[in-house]
Amino acid sequence: MKISTKGRYALRLMLDVALNEKGTPVSLKDISRRQDISEKYLEQIIAILNKAGYVRSIRGAQGGYLLTRSPEEYSVGDILRLTEGSLAPVACIDGAESECLKMNDCVTYLVYKKINDAINEVVDNITLQDLLDWKNEKNGMYVI
């Protein structure tokens, strides 16, 4: 499984909004500049996040985006699945739609299932707040 730029940039975008909103909307132009990501590409990603209710937009000259929930309520897994779709390493793990005819006899299915379970365990147990905390620790800012 490889996470695309859309998924990686969605995480960076959400982290940037969480770091910089401080009660006022964060503009895509500012996020684009800070993250060195094309504003056009961010517009595509923010549309997905906005439609899903992860962020809300504020129009006008001082407009931008705000999180709709607190950072601890967003898991990395939720953000990645929203932008990437399935995080499964192979199609046969995705579910009934792509069920393999050899699944019952396939020993490698167990390997892929374990990989999938491990991925989900990690991404579903890391929140946007964890990322904020790690960023602050890295920058030498300890918040109590």
All structural domains of the chain with their residue ranges: 5-138
Computed over its alpha carbons, how large is the radius of gyration of the chain? 18
CB 30 within 8 A of CB 63: no
Q: What is the CATH number of domain 5-138?
A: 1.10.10.10
Evaluate whether 21 touches 107 at the Cβ level (below 8 Å): no
* Residue numbers in the chain where pLDDT is lower than 50: 144
Which pLDDT does position 144 carry in this prediction? 45
What per-residue confidence (pLDDT) applies to 103? 73
Does the pTM surpass 0.75? The reply is yes
